Amino acid sequence: MKITIFGSCRQDSLYNDYEITKIKNDISYPHYTKEVIEIINFIKYDTIQPENTINIFRTPIMNQTPIYSNNYKNDFDTTDVFIIEISSKLCYEYNNKYVHHIIYDMDEYINNEVKNNILKRIQTDEEIENDIVKIKKELEHSKILIVGHIVTYEKGERYNLIKLLEEICAKHNILFINPVKEFNKRGYDINNMIHQEDKIMHYNDTGHNVIKTIYKEYINYLLSDLNYLIVYNSNLKKVRIGLNNDDSVESNNVDDGGYVILDGLDYNLLLSCGISNDIRFENKFLDKYNNIKCYAFDGTIDSLPDENFNKNINFIKKNITNTNTIDTTNLLDIIDNNDNIFLKMDIETNEFQWLEILNTDQLLKFKQIVIEFHFVFQESNFVDNLFTNLSFPISVERRINCLKKLANTHYLLHFHPNNCCGTIFYNGVEIPNVFECTYVRKDLCNDITISNKEIPDKVLDIKNTNNTDIYLSGFPFSF
C-alpha cells in the first residue's frame, strides 16, 4: 500500500510502517487548502514551470533547485491513501499561485522581490469548504484522510478551524482526525505528547508513537470502505416514538414497533411504508406532530391493525417497489408533489429496488428517514430464499450503493441492530444482518461530530426480539 502525505513532520511516524511517496519531502509541507490544490495541480496538470517552483513550494524554496512534475505523476496516480493536514486559514498568493509561508516569514528564505508581491490573507469558511470538495474530486481515485492541527485550547483561530473541518468533513463523507480529541479518547494527556517548548506544536517520541497507532486505525477504516455507515452526533435531540412507557434496553423488554428519531423538526407529511400488525409509531407520531397527513402502505394486510387509528392516516393496500401496478407503487407521484416529508420504511428487502430509482432531488424531499435495512451484505441467493415473496434480485454492490446514496444527502444519526437475524463479517467488521437507521437531511444539522457512543443506546434502544442483543463498538459505529 502506498501513502502520499500532504502535511508536515507530524506524520513522520508513518514512514516506519508504510510506503510513503517522495511527494511531501521533495515538494512541500502544505498548511492550507489552496496550497494543497496548488501541489495537486502541479503534479496532474503541469501548471507551474520548473524554474518557478523555487518561489512556490517549500523544498525548492529551501534548496533553490527546481523540481519537475513528471517525477511525481506515477507516485500520485498509484497512491492508495492521501493524508492531508490542514493547519491554517492563512494563505499566501503570488502571481496567482499559492506559495509556502517560509518565503514570506522566515528570514533565511525570504525573497523580498517575491514577498513584496505576496497577498497574505485569511481564507473564508466557504473557500475552505469549496477547496476540500475540489481536493476530494481531484483525488477520487484514492482514499483521503484529513487531519487537523494539535489544538490544546478550545478557543482561537486554530480551534475554530478544527471545528470547521469537523463539520465540512462530516458533510462530505470524509474521515477527519482531530488529534487532541483522539488522544483524550484514549486517556492520554496531550501535554505529555508534545515538546513543551515548541509553540508550533510538534510531537515528542511518545506522541509520535501514539499518533502512529491512531493513523493506522483510520487507514484501516478507510480501506474497509464502510464510511457510509459512520454514525454522527448533531445538535438535534433524540427521542423514541412508538413505546408507551420509559422502558429501555436495560429493562429487557422487547419492542419492534418503535423508532428513535431526531426531535425539533416539522413536517407536512408522514409517509409510512410497511405496517404489518403494528401502527403504534404512526399513531404516536401523529399525536406529536398535529395536523399533518399520513399515507400508510402495506400490501400484505387488508386493513389497519388498530381500530382506533389516527384519523389522519390514509391506508393504501399496496407494496412498495420500483414500479406502479395495481398492487404496487413507487411513491414518486407523492414525493414529487410534497415537501418536508418524514419517511418510515420497513419493507423486508424491497427498500433497495425502491431506493435505486430515486434521484437526489427526490431524496432531498425527506427531512428525516427511519428505515430498516435487510441483509445488505448477504449474497443474493440467501436473501432470495429467505424472502421468496418480496425479494427482488439485487447484488451486494447495488445494495451498498443504496446506503452510499443516502449518505450523500443525509447524516446517519442513529443506528440500532435488530437482534432478529444475527450478524455477518464484512471487510473485517461485524455488522448486523438487519438494522434500523435514522437519517436527517444534512442542511438541517449543526455541530456534526463522529459518534463515540456504544450501540445500542442504553436509554433509547429496545431489543426487537428475545434473542441476545447485538453490541457494537469501533469503526464505523463509534470511534
Question: What are the C-alpha distances in Å from 47 to residues 39, 41, 53, 100?
Answer: 9, 6, 10, 16
C-alpha Rg value of the chain to the nearest Å:
26
In sequence order, the β-bridge partners of residue 373 are 435
Cα distance from N-terminal residue to C-terminal residue, the chain: 24
Element (H, E) at 413: strand 410-417
pLDDT tens string, the chain, 479 residues long: the values are 899 999 999 999 999 899 999 999 999 999 999 999 999 999 999 999 999 999 999 999 999 999 999 999 999 999 999 999 999 999 999 999 999 999 998 888 887 888 899 999 999 999 999 999 999 999 998 999 999 999 888 888 999 999 999 999 998 989 999 999 999 988 999 989 988 776 678 899 999 999 999 999 899 888 888 989 999 999 999 999 976 444 444 444 555 568 999 999 999 999 999 988 888 899 999 999 987 999 999 988 888 877 778 888 899 999 999 999 999 999 999 999 999 999 999 988 899 999 999 999 999 999 999 999 999 998 866 665 665 555 567 889 999 999 999 999 999 999 999 988 899 998 888 999 999 999 999 999 988 888 888 899 988 988 888 888 999 988 888 87
Rounded to an integer, what distance in angstroms lies between the CA atom of residue 2 and that of residue 77? 10
Closest by CA to 165, choosing from 188, 197, 135, is: 135
User: Where does residue 375 rank: exposed (0-12), middle (13-18), buried (19+ CB within 10 A)?
Assistant: buried
Closest by CA to 25, choosing from 40, 39, 38, 8, is: 8
Residues contacting 445, CB < 8 A, separation 6+ = 232, 234, 235, 236, 411, 413
Report yes or no: 288 and 264 within 8 Å, Cβ to Cβ: no
Question: What are the C-alpha distances in Å from 38 to residues 70, 272, 393?
Answer: 15, 49, 46
Element (H, E) at 345: strand 341-345
Q: What is the pLDDT of residue 256?
A: 54
Q: Give the pTM.
A: 0.79
Element (H, E) at 143: strand 143-147
Closest by CA to 236, choosing from 109, 373, 368, 43, is: 368
Q: What DSSP line would sit under 242-294, residue for residue? A: S-SS---GGGT-B-SS-EEEE-S---SEEEEE--TT--HHHHHHHHHSTT-EE
The x, y and z cell numbers of residue 300, run together, are 400484505
The x, y and z cell numbers of residue 325, run together, are 401496478
Spell out the domains of the chain, with CATH numbers in brackets.
2-224 (3.40.50), 232-450 (3.40.50)
Rounded to an integer, what distance in angstroms lies between the CA atom of residue 41 and that of residue 38? 5
In sequence order, the β-bridge partners of residue 271 are 295, 343
What's the DSSP call for residue 123?
P
Question: What are the C-alpha distances in Å from 91 to residues 31, 113, 241?
Answer: 9, 18, 49
The x, y and z cell numbers of residue 283, run together, are 399513531
